[in-house]
A and B are shown apart, each in its own frame.
Chain A
């Protein structure tokens, strides 16, 4: 009796895969009682495009462009992380000027991403004015990037061995002018975010995750730094030109969405600092070394601090023109585990902003994690060869010609 009465007002509401709150498809199934959230079920995979498999069928150089298009906002992160891994395997010495240019584009991308995030956060709490103003300012960064790299998104500045385009002193002047405007605007947004009553009411105390839980669940990036976890790959494992840059790693103790907002805004100020240092200190020299078409056999692990957190790439080469394996671990995959934890005992109205606060990029996230056996009772992870055999069987059953692929699989299995 008591049981049925208790569950009377409970129901499940789907948030996604299509929902105005989500910029990309993902399925959250929320168990509600009135306005209170009882639990969340997360289901990923709607954006899986088979990129890791596609990487194996293209040459190392073509993969730079493919991986760049995993995501629009983290595109330079993925491309740089991959290129760093390949350069490590091939033992290439990238010239310092190229490293500086890579860092410059990386920081400009971070500025772009954080402005975009501010706007999206404003939209999720119903504050469209913030959305319009931050996205208007984002145009300054995008125009700057279009001038430097040739495109507003998916910059294509990286190539194996260096970068493809140089920056001129005039570019440097434009960059400094753009950064000056943006810094002024950022100071205004910091004031708004820390003083506006309605924003503070919506963001404070929402999405709390303690430092221990953040470490236990593996959160990365601003999500973790807002809980006091002092980790930043740019400082821990410096890549590109970060070893020569002077900047602070921003942490905050609020542990909630408000803290994440403050961390991101302050990181914007640090980015402006780094960009100014780059324009002042950039060394002269070539912008690329010649890269071989066949990368020698080896494997490498490369990390990059994307605007959302730690982006990890693993590349394995077997001496040929095409990579044997490319594995991408995007920061959102690490952060999404925390969403369930953050939403316990919160209200439905907090759902969009909590999801937006980890800065989700589901296009980055949906890679292969583990496959469970589809038939039978036993649940086991399928290995690479069993997965390939299964795929060949599936295609053969539907009338595709799989002889070439089968031969290749046998060759690999005999290794």
Chain B
């Protein structure tokens, strides 16, 4: 019973869904304010979700209906399950085992796979181009993201997220050594979440809606919810590994600090969305391999050097 509550309500599905919608509101409101506009009211993402639930699901004739319908659920499940291993406001996550950092990163690649499969089986030309772009983009940002997240893990000498956060709470000054890694992981997260300048798979002015062209109604609502929750999970992951403040405090204060950390990461993502134009896919791949990977390697070198010095 307790497990069911944790998975479905808090900090499981319901909490994630509401927090995801709230994060979407923050994102859209900040985006609008930065453009000197008013922005939507606080209930807009919830209203959008409810409206989409009420619309008809149209499945194209030539599409593979089973895969088409399955993918939104697949993406949603993957992101919701990954929150279980991330420490949110206590140093220990819900469940942890040795190596769960790798498991969380793996679970976070599943939504991209879901976008690809959903777009591919839509059989629409635009969806196919979008899905292929989605996969190409993954080859660009996965490596910097992994490397950026592995550096703090190396310094903490553990692949378990709960242990990593415990290590940084005990030595809070060490997190300043990971700043480059934070930057790299943030930019790579932009790629994973497909936000500008890396929103190439869903380039509205080029391929209508990319992978989501044929999706409508409830399926589209769940895809959007999955993307929102992915943003929360990605931000939580970054907050847990790079910003380990407030994890040792009382539950209420710790929770508040957690919310603030996630909002900060969302703010940085929105800022990037506002001030950059969209890159072309070939430019994006070049950029990631030319700049992000060397920076991540630099971060790894720093960490290895520090380990040698600190453990002496």
A/B touching: CB–CB < 8 A: yes
List residues 30-50 of chain B with CB under 8 A from any CB of chain A: 34-37
A382 within 8 A of B: no
Check A201 against B283 for contact (C-beta < 8 Å).
yes
Query: Separation in Å of the A398 CB from the closest CB of chain B?
Result: 36
- Taken together as a complex, chains A and B put the C-alpha atoms of A406 and B280 apart, in Å, by 58
A390 within 8 A of B: no
A213 within 8 A of B: no
Check A202 against B35 for contact (C-beta < 8 Å).
no
If A126-B197, A132-B35, A133-B36 touch, whether A201 touches B279 (CB-CB below 8 Å) is: yes
- Taken together as a complex, chains A and B put the C-alpha atoms of A19 and B197 apart, in Å, by 21
List residues 177-204 of chain A with CB under 8 A from any CB of chain B: 196, 198-199, 201-202
Check A20 against B276 for contact (C-beta < 8 Å).
no
Check A352 against B205 for contact (C-beta < 8 Å).
yes
B293 within 8 A of A: no
Check A198 against B206 for contact (C-beta < 8 Å).
no
Check B36 against A349 for contact (C-beta < 8 Å).
no
- Taken together as a complex, chains A and B put the C-alpha atoms of A201 and B280 apart, in Å, by 9
Check A126 against B129 for contact (C-beta < 8 Å).
no
Query: Separation in Å of the B285 CB from the closest CB of chain A?
Result: 11
A15-36 CB contact bits vs B (8 Å, 1 = yes)? 0000111000000000010010
Check B274 against A129 for contact (C-beta < 8 Å).
yes
B103 within 8 A of A: no
A interface SS class: helix
Check B36 against A126 for contact (C-beta < 8 Å).
no
Q: Which residues of B contact A351 (CB under 8 A)?
A: 206
A117-125, A256-264, A270-278: which one contacts chain B?
A: A117-125
Candidates B37, B206, B208, B274; contact of A349 at CB < 8 Å: B206
A138-159 CB contact bits vs B (8 Å, 1 = yes)? 0000000000000000000000
Instruction: Categorize the interface residue count of chain B.
Output: 20 to 34
A350 within 8 A of B: yes
Query: Separation in Å of the A191 CB from the closest CB of chain B?
Result: 14
- Taken together as a complex, chains A and B put the C-alpha atoms of A395 and B200 apart, in Å, by 50
A128 within 8 A of B: yes
- List the A residue with the shortest CB-CB distance to B136: A35
Q: Which residues of A contact B274 (CB under 8 A)?
A: 129
- Taken together as a complex, chains A and B put the C-alpha atoms of A99 and B232 apart, in Å, by 62
Query: Separation in Å of the A14 CB from the closest CB of chain B?
Result: 8
Q: Which residues of B contact A167 (CB under 8 A)?
A: none
Check B205 against A35 for contact (C-beta < 8 Å).
no
Provide a sorted-by-A list of 19 A–B residue pairs whose CB atoms are within 8 angstroms: A13-B125, A32-B129, A125-B205, A127-B196, A127-B276, A129-B34, A129-B35, A132-B37, A133-B36, A136-B36, A196-B277, A199-B277, A201-B280, A201-B283, A347-B280, A347-B281, A348-B129, A352-B205, A352-B206
Besides A124-B205, A347-B280, 6 other A-B contacts (C-beta < 8 A)? A20-B205, A125-B277, A196-B277, A198-B197, A349-B200, A352-B205
